[in-house]
Chain A
Amino acid sequence: MTLWRQVPGGLIRRRTLLQGMAGLAAVGAMGRPARAQDMPTLVNSIRSLSNPYHATWNQGGEAFAAAIGAPYVTLVTEGDSEKGIADIRAILQKTGGNAVINVDPNDAPDARPIVEACVQAGAHVLTQWNKPADLHPWDFNPNYVSHVSFDGVEYGGRTAQVLIDAIGGSGGIVALGGILSNTAAIDRRTGLEATLAANPNVELLDFQVADWQSGKAFDTTSAWLTRFGPDIKGIWAANDDMAIGALEALRAEGLQGQIPITGIDGIQTAVEAVRAGEMTATVFWDPFWQGAMGLSIPYHARTGTFDPAAEPPEHREFYGSATVVTTENAESFYAEHIAATPQLDFEDLWGRVSGQIRQS
Chain B
Amino acid sequence: MTTTAGKGRASARLWTSVPWRALAPVVVLAALCIALGLAADNFATAGNFARIATSAAVPAVLATGVTLVILMGGIDLSVEGAMAVAAVVAALVLVAAPGALGAVAAAFAALAAGAALGAVSGAIHVGLRAPSFMVTLGTWFIGLGLAVWLVGGGTVSVRDSELRVLALVRLGGLPLSVWVALGTVLIAWVLQSRTRLGRALFAVGGGEDLAAQSGVPVGRVKVAAFALAGLCYGLGAVLAVAQLGQGNAEIGTGRLFAAVSAAVVGGTSLLGGHGGVLHSLVGVLVVVVLSNGMILLGVPPYLQQAVQGLLIIIAVAVSLDRRGQGLVK
**Contact residues of A: prevailing secondary structure:** helix
| Residues of the B chain whose Cβ atoms lie less than 8 Å from the Cβ of A8 | 253-254
Given contacts A50-B148, A218-B244, A226-B292, contact A241 B141 (CB under 8 A): no
B253 pairs with A7, CB closer than 8 A: yes
Q: Which residues of B contact A276 (CB under 8 A)?
A: 159
Q: Which 9 A-B pairs have the closest CB atoms?
A: A55-B153, A223-B295, A209-B301, A222-B51, A226-B48, A269-B157, A50-B148, A219-B55, A17-B145
| Residue ranges of A at the interface with B (Cβ–Cβ < 8 Å) | 6-8, 12, 14, 16-18, 21, 48-52, 54-56, 58, 177, 180, 206-209, 211, 213-216, 218-220, 222-227, 229, 241, 244-245, 248, 251-252, 267-269, 272-273, 276
A241 and B245 CA atoms in complex are apart in Å by 11
Does A213 lie within 8 Å of B253, measured CB to CB?
A: yes
B138 and chain A: residue at smallest CB distance: A16
In contact, B302 and A180 (Cβ under 8 angstroms): yes
A241 near B54 with CB under 8 A, answer no
The interface residues of chain A lying within 8 Å CB-to-CB of B295 are 206, 208, 220, 223-224, 227
As a 0/1 sequence over residues 289 to 319 of chain B, the CB contacts with chain A under 8 angstroms (1 = contact) are 0011001101001101000000000000000
Q: Distance (Å) between the CB of A254 and the closest chain B CB? A: 9
A219 touching B245, Cβ below 8 Å: no
| A51 close to B144 (CB less than 8 A) | no
Give the nearest-CB partner of B293 in chain A.
A223
B250 at the interface (CB under 8 A from A): yes
Taking A177-B301, A222-B55, A268-B157 as contacts, is the C-beta distance between A248 and B245 under 8 angstroms?
yes
10 A-B pairs (CB sep. < 8 Å): A7-B253, A16-B141, A17-B145, A206-B298, A213-B254, A215-B58, A268-B157, A269-B157, A269-B159, A273-B159
Q: Which residues of A have CB within 8 Å of B298?
A: 206, 227
Taking a contact as CB atoms under 8 Å apart, the answer to whether B42 and A226 are in contact is: yes
Report B's interface with A, CB cutoff 8 A: 40, 42-43, 45, 47-48, 51, 54-55, 58, 77, 137, 140-142, 144-145, 147-148, 152-155, 157, 159, 167-168, 175, 240, 243-246, 248-251, 253-255, 288, 291-292, 295-296, 298, 301-302, 304
Q: Which of A206, A216, A252 contacts B254 (CB 8 A)?
A: A216
Q: Check B296 against A17 for contact (C-beta < 8 Å).
A: no
In the complex formed, the residue of A with least CB distance to B40 is A227
A245 touches B301 (CB 8 A): no
Considering the chains assembled together, what is the distance between the CA atoms of A18 and B250 in angstroms? 15
Which residues from A are CB-within-8-Å of B248?
A: 52
A50-B249 in contact (CB<8A) = yes
A214 B142 Cβ-Cβ under 8 A: no
Which one, A14, A51, A225, contacts B51 given CB within 8 A?
A: A225
Given contacts A17-B142, A215-B58, A226-B296, contact A55 B51 (CB under 8 A): no
In the complex with contacts A17-B145, A213-B254, A223-B301 CB distance below 8 A = no
Separation of A272 and B248 alpha carbons in the complex (Å): 16
Query: Other than the known A12-B140, A213-B250, A248-B167, what 9 A-B pairs have Cβ atoms closer than 8 Å?
Result: A17-B144, A48-B148, A52-B153, A55-B153, A180-B302, A208-B295, A225-B47, A252-B167, A268-B154
Counting chain B CB atoms within 10 Å of each CB, the highest count among A50, A213, A222, A248 belongs to A50
Most buried by B among A7, A8, A52: A52
CB-contact partner of B250 in A50, A56, A177, under 8 A: A50
Pick from A56, A213, A214 the residue with the most CB of B within 10 Å: A214
Q: Which of A56, A226, A267 has the most chain B CB within a 10 Å cutoff?
A: A226
Contact status A51-B301, CB under 8 Å: no
Q: Are A226's CB and B45's CB within 8 A?
A: yes
CB pair A267–B292 under 8 Å, yes or no, is no
List the B side residues contacting A269 at CB < 8 Å: 155, 157, 159, 245-246
Partner of A14, one of B77, B141, B251: B141
CA–CA, A27 and B245, complex, Å: 38
Tell me how far the C-beta of B312 lies from the nearest C-beta in chain A, rounded to whole angstroms: 16
Given contacts A222-B54, A252-B175, contact A227 B145 (CB under 8 A): no
> For residue A55, which residues in chain B have a CB less than 8 angstroms away from its CB?
152-154
A214 to B304, CA, bound (A): 18
Q: A17-B141, A50-B148 are in contact. Are A207 and B254 (CB under 8 A)?
A: no
In the complex, the answer to whether A248 meets B157 with C-beta atoms within 8 Å is no
Report chain A residues within 8 Å CB of B244.
214-215, 218, 244-245, 248
Given contacts A17-B142, A252-B167, A268-B155, contact A226 B245 (CB under 8 A): no
A211 to B254, CA, bound (A): 9
Q: Please measure, in the bound complex, the distance between the C-alpha atom of A100 and the C-alpha atom of B7, giving whole angstroms.
A: 87
**Set of chain B residues within 8 Å of A211, measured between Cβ atoms:** 254
Chain B, Cβ-Cβ closest to A13: B141
Min CB distance A63 to B, Å, is: 14
Distance in Å: Cβ of A13 to nearest Cβ of chain B: 9
A11 to B250, CA, bound (A): 17
Nearest CB of chain A from residue B179's CB, rounded to whole Å: 14
Complex CA–CA separation, A6 to B254 (angstroms): 9
- A177–B304 CA distance with the chains assembled, in angstroms: 14
Complex Cα distance, B43 from A54, in Å, reads: 41
B292 touches A215 (CB 8 A): no
Cβ-closest chain B residue relative to A21? B145
B137 near A14 (CB under 8 angstroms)? no
Q: How far is the CA of A48 from the CA of B45 in the complex (A)?
A: 43
Residues of B within 8 A of A225 (CB): 47, 51
Neighbouring B residues of A213 by C-beta, 8 Å: 250, 253-254
A209 to B298 alpha-carbon distance, docked (Å): 12
Measured in the bound complex, the distance between the Cα atoms of B254 and A219 in whole Å is 13
**Which of B40, B248, B304 is most buried by chain A, counting CB atoms within 10 A of its CB?**
B248
Given contacts A50-B153, A220-B295, contact A215 B246 (CB under 8 A): no
Is A244 within 8 A of B246, CB to CB?
yes
Q: List the A side residues contacting B240 at CB < 8 Å.
A: 215
Q: Is A51 in contact with B168, judged by CB distance below 8 angstroms?
A: no
The residue in chain B whose Cβ has the minimal distance to the Cβ of A226 is B48
Is the beta-carbon distance between A52 and B51 smaller than 8 angstroms? no
CA distance A218 to B240 in the complex (A): 11
Chain A residue with Cβ nearest B255: A215
Q: Are A214 and B246 in contact (CB under 8 A)?
A: yes
- For the complex formed, measure the closest distance between the CB of A72 and the CB atoms of chain B, giving whole angstroms: 16
